[in-house]
């Protein structure tokens, strides 16, 4: 790295993000996410946008990829909860800048979604991204947050009368709770009142089918596509 790109301040290396080319900047953002540097992530995100990167490219290549690396070291016991919380906070600083771009839509809502992370689970980055992309696809989104139990879902459904119910789970221990919600809806005779979409890193298509969801969505883009497709299909069939 040249002197123009880095300075030594109080023994800490200060990097001029603007002086980096796109590839080095994305790599630097992976490091900054790892180190939980929210200001640097916001700055890097803005620089990439200013250079003409699309919001989805910034999201996937700079932020999600950085979080993937964090996840590996978290799994391997190299990073711990407090450090990963800082990474999550930094990721959110970048996502805040992307939010208006991902959620940009000038049209009337094409449907309503109630979404939440299920009981026992406090991971919300993926859910928040899904909510943003659904908004971008033209849905009105009611986000009921993390650690949501059956009653919270039922309350939100009664209040908002959504077309779609979305559930997120990031832990193998919390994903079975999605079935608890779906079974409760079935018992109450409400299961077919809306489309149910599920997602989260430990899930797969078979799991989605086994618990009686309408679809498993691998990522936020697939969630937005699937939501639009299933809502149109349901309206056409009505």
The contact set with ligand B1M (CB under 6 A) reads 64, 67-68, 70-71, 74-75, 81, 84-85, 88, 120-127, 129-130, 166-168, 170-172, 197-202, 217, 219-220, 223
At closest approach, how far in Å is the CB of 5 from ligand B1M?
29
Q: Cβ of residue 16: shortest distance to ligand B1M, in angstroms?
A: 28
Task: Considering the complex, state which of residue 28 and residue 148 has its C-beta at the smaller distance from ligand B1M.
Answer: 148
Compare residues 120 and 212 and give the one whose CB is closer to ligand B1M. Answer: 120
Residues 161 and 197 sit within 8 Å (Cβ to Cβ): no
Nearest CB to ligand B1M, comparing residues 24 and 225: 225
Give the shortest CB-236-to-ligand B1M separation in angstroms.
Answer: 21
* Closer of 85 and 210 to ligand B1M (Cβ): 85
**Smallest distance from ligand B1M to CB 166, Å:** 3
Residue with tokens 């979080």: 67
- For the bound state, the minimum distance from the C-beta of residue 231 to ligand B1M, rounded and expressed in Å, comes to 13
Instruction: Give the shortest CB-106-to-ligand B1M separation in angstroms.
Output: 24
Of 64 and 93, nearer to ligand B1M (C-beta) is 64
């Amino acid at each position: 790295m040249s002197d123009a790109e880095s300075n030594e301040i109080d023994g800490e290396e200060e990097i001029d993000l603007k002086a980096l080319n796109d590839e080095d900047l994305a790599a630097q953002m992976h490091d900054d996410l790892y180190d939980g540097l929210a200001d640097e992530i916001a700055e890097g995100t803005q620089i990439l946008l200013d250079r003409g990167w699309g919001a989805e490219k910034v999201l996937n290549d700079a932020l999600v990829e950085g979080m993937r690396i964090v996840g590996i070291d978290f799994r391997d016991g190299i990073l711990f909860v407090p450090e990963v919380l800082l990474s999550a906070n930094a990721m959110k600083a970048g996502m805040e800048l992307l939010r208006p771009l991902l959620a940009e839509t000038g049209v009337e809502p094409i449907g309503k979604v109630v979404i939440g992370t299920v009981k026992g689970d406090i991971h919300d980055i993926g859910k928040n991204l899904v909510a943003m992309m659904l908004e971008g696809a033209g849905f009105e989104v009611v986000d009921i947050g993390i650690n949501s139990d059956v009653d919270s879902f039922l309350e939100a459904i009664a209040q908002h009368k959504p077309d779609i119910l979305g559930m997120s789970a990031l832990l193998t221990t919390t994903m079975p709770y999605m079935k608890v919600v779906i079974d409760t809806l079935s018992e109450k005779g409400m299961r077919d009142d809306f489309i149910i979409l599920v997602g989260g890193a430990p899930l797969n298509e078979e799991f989605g089918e086994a618990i009686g969801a309408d679809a498993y969505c691998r990522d936020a883009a697939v969630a937005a596509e699937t939501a639009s497709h299933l809502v149109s299909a349901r309206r056409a069939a009505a």
